[in-house]
Copies of this chain bind each other. A is one copy, B any other.
Amino acid sequence: MNERLKTRLGRLELANPVTVASGTFSYDYADYVDFNRLGAIVTKTITKEARGGNPTPRLFETEAGLLNSIGLQNPGLDKFIKEELPKYNQWKAPLLVSLSGSSIEEFCEIVARMDEEDCAGYEINVSCPNVKNEGIAFGVDPKVVFELTSKLRKHTERELIIKLSPNVTDIVSVAKAAKEGGADSLALINTLLGMAIDWKTGKSRIARGVGGYSGIAIKPVALSNVWRVAKAVDIPILAMGGISNYQDALEFFYAGASVVAVGTENFMNPLATIELIEKLDMHLESQNISLKDIIGKVKGVIL
């Protein structure tokens, strides 16, 4: 593209600041989206062993957002490497592999194995609300996050992104722990915890009861987390949470994000990423500014 849109995510220089949120996008979108135009590609979260996922129903759209309870259904690391990785690597956009494990060792094992393959870096999912006995435990405790990050750091020289959960008392302390552990950048936010019930029958809309809440409704929450983390921790932020268009993206850049990801909006508009890039570029051009002029430059805050 052009200079205006260039941005840095830790070790990576991206052609533009737009990528996709893990789990909401896959090579299936290649029929609609030119992946070469994305700033980066983020895969669905991969685990060491295959996972069957959660009982159904797994989805429900509420008045203003989406509940999901996929439960990290995925084919497992080996099959991913054999069958999916080659597909992703046909595109020139840097590939960030999202991964999760049930122990620190397992996280390390996956990174070590992936490091033998081709990809640009890792988004470490310690924050999926839809998996029991793990995920949450990792993402909410700064000590655990520090230990996990520092161990992972030893296994790779590639971009190491820790993806944070908003379902914590103090996201800043978790973010700091990730940075101190050696993370190159932070991704936030994962989904909120949410629920919906059919008022006619009393039936939970999601089989697991609670699911992950995403989409437009969570944008203000994501934005406040990005702003608070950006003020306190000086590594780049990959932001997601209700981002649908270039206006939303601008809010996040002002709050301190260096890259934005489109998640739930892909379902509403498969071309959302491309339209965002194009319109963002036009906007910056019309204002005669580049991205770096606005990142973190929110005004009017009286503390």
- Given A213-B221, A255-B195; A203-B55 close (CB under 8 Å): no
- Given A197-B254, A221-B213; A202-B294 close (CB under 8 Å): yes
Whether B208 pairs with A303 at a CB distance below 8 angstroms is yes
- Given A207-B302, A228-B210, A300-B207; A220-B196 close (CB under 8 Å): yes
Jot down 22 A-B pairs with beta carbons below 8 A, ordered by A: A62-B219, A64-B65, A64-B217, A168-B169, A193-B224, A194-B221, A194-B224, A196-B251, A199-B247, A199-B250, A199-B254, A202-B297, A202-B299, A203-B299, A207-B300, A208-B301, A208-B303, A210-B224, A210-B227, A213-B220, A213-B224, A217-B220
Whether B204 pairs with A221 at a CB distance below 8 angstroms is no
**Residue interface mask A171-191, B partner, CB < 8 A = 1:** 000000000000000000000
Whether A254 pairs with B224 at a CB distance below 8 angstroms is no
How many residues of A are counted as interface, with CB atoms below 8 angstroms from the partner's CB atoms? 51
The residue among A197, A219, A299, A301 with the most chain B CB atoms within 10 A of its own CB is A197
Whether A301 pairs with B209 at a CB distance below 8 angstroms is yes
Whether A301 pairs with B207 at a CB distance below 8 angstroms is yes
| B residues less than 8 Å from A217 (CB atoms) | 63-65, 216-218, 220
Whether A220 pairs with B208 at a CB distance below 8 angstroms is no
| B residues less than 8 Å from A227 (CB atoms) | 195, 209-210
- Given A168-B169, A169-B140, A250-B199; A299-B204 close (CB under 8 Å): yes
A67 contacts B by Cβ under 8 Å: yes
A133 contacts B by Cβ under 8 Å: no
- Kindly state the separation between the CA atoms of A299 and B201 in the bound complex, as whole angstroms: 8
